[in-house]
Every structure is written in structure tokens, then in C-alpha cells.
Amino acid sequence: MPGNSTHKRKRQVSEGVLRGLEYYQDRELSPESSKLRDTLYEMANSGNADDGHLGKLYSFWLSKQIKCASLRDEVARLTTDNEKIRDEHEQARREIEDVEALLELGDWAAVCLGRIKSKEEAARKDERDALTTDYQKQNVVRKEEAEMIAKAQAFANNEKYEGPGPWGPVNPELEAKADTNWNAMDGRNFHSVNEKIKGETKAINDWRKSGEEDSDLPPTPFLDRIQRMCDKAGVSRADCLRWVEAYSERKAAHRPLPIILDFIKEIEQNGELVKVEVDKQNPQDSIDWARFKAAVENRKEQVEERYAQGKIDESMRDRCIELMNEYWRPLSEHDDEDGNPIPSQYAKLLATNSLDKAAKSPRPTAYRATKKPKFDDILMPESD
């Protein structure tokens, strides 16, 4: 009777495994999973497999398929998020009507993009760390699958199990470093960045039109890297993509922005205003932050005036003001009791670097054109 009970249990386990495998018969599986499925199918059909070993092997295989299904759900979720970002991006884009405003927009965008670009090395490190972990996990999974397959084959052939044999481990650190050793923004001009973004955006749209098959999901390394950089800079990627487009297609060529070197404090000597000697220990104290902020506010007022005069639309006005606010925000977020801006740590670092660079490479005292100037584009005013 014990023999009948054992035989019945084996049959029940085998039938359960066969029913479970039937569900995956026509489903796409990895080569390793397909091979292990075939091994399980043969063991279950044989009728004499160890039910305990067969059950454990099937449970391991099934858990891997469940994880794959979970990953497919995650891809679907990310696709939904990506569609939302695309819709927000498209809604934010506006037809630009005023040439002067376009040039100004490019100037402000360049500065804000510079702060995002400075986050690339930190973003690369995050990617490298994440990929290192992924490669480590892949090594574990590959070894486990190789061991299970080898054990199943040894059992099926009534042979002694002697290890998984060659299973192709990789060096996680080296692979991750090789995968991330490229730049999305740092060292590239923004026209090149914009072309990369357009290429990836087109690939995503083509993928949507073709049915959004998970297996055909296009890689988007630039958009992904830029997302990490934006997260670290405290800026939305949708804003960043607009700024890249604004700067690359409408590069500014006039009206330089107010920069820190323009606001070194001045004192009167012999009836003339001269710049103070920079305090090397506290260079930020040599900057007139109130005058700096006033210059930014003045440029915002000029944008408001152009909007009031109907020279630019509301969308352009809002985008210019947004970039100007973002330009000033990291320099100072609070004022003292007298209403003077308190420089942030970033502003202090900027003062140190800017003043040090200016001391090493002083500006020329006079400008000398290298080509004979032309004035064909300077129009005479129309007479009344």
C-alpha cells in the first residue's frame, strides 16, 4: 500500500506540472527557460521522476516566469508614464512669434542647462551602481539556472551531478563602467543633444504606432540619462527638453545676461568709481548681490512690458519668466532684514570660481575688431 501511495503522489505531481507547463506552451520564453521547460516536460511524462525534486524544480522555474510577467507589467507602467510626459511636453510647446524674445530665451536656457549638465557625472555614477547590481543579480540567476539544468540532466541520465559547468559569468563592475562611459550633455553642444533627443522621441512614437510590443521597445539612453540629471538638479525633464530645443534652435546672439563678474562692488576713489579689491577669503562679500538681483528683476520687467505691448504672447512671457526665476533661484532664496539677498552656498562657490578665473584671465582693456565692421543691416529710421 505504501508503494501505491508513492505512485499516486508521483502521478499527481507530474500531472500538476504538465498542466502548469501547458499554460506556457505557446508563450515566448528565454532560451534557458525553454530548455528547462522541456526538461520538466520530459521528467513529468516519464512517470518515474522523484516527485520532490520535480516539484522544487518546477517551483523554481515557475517563479522565474512570474518575475518575467512582473517585469512586463513594469514596462507597461513606464510606457504610461512616458506617454504622460510626452503629452505634457507637447502641450508646453508654443509657436514663438517675437525674434527678440526668442534670442533672450536661448540665453536664459543656456545658463539653466549648464546647471543640469554639471550633474552628469553624478548621474553616471548612479547608472553605473545600478547596472553593477543588475549584472551581479544576472550572474546569480544564470548560475542558479545552470545548476538546475545540470542537476535535472544528471538526474534524467542517472548520473552524478558534478556542477553546472561553464555558465558565462561577467565582471559586473567592468560591464557597468563600459555601459555608462559616454556623455549625454557634458562635452556636447546642445544642437547635438537636441538631435539625439529627437531621434529617441521619434523611435518612441514609431514604436507606439507599430503596436507597442514589449520586445520592440526602443532604447532611450539620452532621455534616461537626462532624467537622472534633472532629478539631481531639481528640474523636470519636460522643462529641460524645452530648454534644449529653445537653445539649440534659437541660439541667442545679443543682450548678454547679467553675470556675477558684472556686479563686483564699487567704491569712489579720486572722484571715480572703481571696483573693490576682491577678498580672497570671502569672495562672495565682494559681490553686490542686491544689484545683481535688481538686474534680473529688471529683465523680467522688460519681458512683461513686451507682453503688455502685444509683442509676445502669454506662453512666451511665462517661459521667459520661468527661466529667469530658475536662473536666480539657486543663487539666493532668502533676504536679510534689510531686504538684501543672502547668497547661497552655490552662489559662494560661483563667486569663488568666477573671480578666480577672472584673476587668471583678465578681460582686455579695449576691444579691437579683427574684421572691418559692416552696417548693411542697420536700417535708417523712417521719416515722419
Report whether 131 contacts 179 (CB < 8 A). Answer: yes
Look up residue 307 and give its three cell numbers: 507682453
9 inside domain = yes
289 inside domain = yes
Strands 272-275 and 334-335, by their bridges, are unpaired
The CA distance from 182 to 205, in Å, is: 25
Residue type, 265: K
pTM of this structure: 0.42
Three-state secondary structure call for residue 167: coil
Average pLDDT of the chain to the nearest whole number: 76
81 inside domain = yes
- pLDDT over 50 (residue 364): no
Domain boundary among 58, 92, 126: 92
Q: What is the pLDDT of residues 138-168, one digit of tens each?
A: 888 888 888 888 888 888 888 888 887 777 7
Three-state secondary structure call for residue 161: coil
152 inside domain = no
Q: What is the pLDDT of residues 285-329, one digit of tens each?
A: 888 999 999 999 999 998 999 899 888 889 989 998 999 999 999
Q: Cβ of 194: how many Cβ atoms within 10 Å? A: 18
pLDDT at 291: 92
pLDDT at 99: 46
- pLDDT interval class at 371 (50, 70, 90): very low
Question: Cα Rg for the chain, rounded, in angstroms?
Answer: 32
Report whether 39 contacts 153 (CB < 8 A). Answer: yes
The CA distance from 170 to 135, in Å, is: 7
The CA distance from 79 to 85, in Å, is: 10
Q: What is the span of the domain harbouring residue 354?
A: 260-358
The CA distance from 323 to 228, in Å, is: 20
Q: What is the pLDDT of residues 107-134, one digit of tens each?
A: 777 778 888 999 999 999 998 998 899 8
Q: What is the domain count for the chain?
A: 2
- pLDDT over 60 (residue 358): no
- pLDDT over 80 (residue 53): no
- Secondary structure in 3-state letters for 183-221: CCCCCCCHHHHHHHHHHHHHHHHHHHHCCCCHHHCCCCH
Q: Cβ of 347: how many Cβ atoms within 10 Å? A: 20
- pLDDT interval class at 91 (50, 70, 90): low
- pLDDT over 70 (residue 1): no
pLDDT at 67: 79
178 inside domain = no
218 inside domain = no
Our measurement of the distance from residue 169's CA atom to the centroid of its chain's CA atoms, rounded to an integer in Å, reads: 29
Residue type, 49: A
The CA distance from 3 to 51, in Å, is: 14
- pLDDT over 60 (residue 374): no
322 inside domain = yes
Domain boundary among 29, 59, 92: 92
Three-state secondary structure call for residue 182: coil
In Å, what is the CA distance from 355 to each residue of 113, 280, 282, 349? 22, 9, 11, 10
- pLDDT over 90 (residue 95): no
29-33, 88-92, 212-216, 231-235: the lowest-pLDDT one: 88-92
Report whether 277 contacts 305 (CB < 8 A). Answer: no
Nearest to 235 by CA among 101, 327, 320: 327
Q: Cβ of 24: how many Cβ atoms within 10 Å? A: 15
CA angle, 121 as apex, 115 and 296 as ends, to 5°?
A: 5
48 inside domain = yes
pLDDT at 300: 93
| Helix ranges (DSSP H) in 24-162 | 31-46, 51-92, 99-117, 120-156
93-97, 127-131, 247-251, 293-297: the lowest-pLDDT one: 93-97
pLDDT at 104: 61
Report whether 164 contacts 146 (CB < 8 A). Answer: yes
Q: What is the pLDDT of residues 343-353, one digit of tens each?
A: 999 888 888 88
pLDDT at 168: 79
The CA distance from 223 to 209, in Å, is: 20
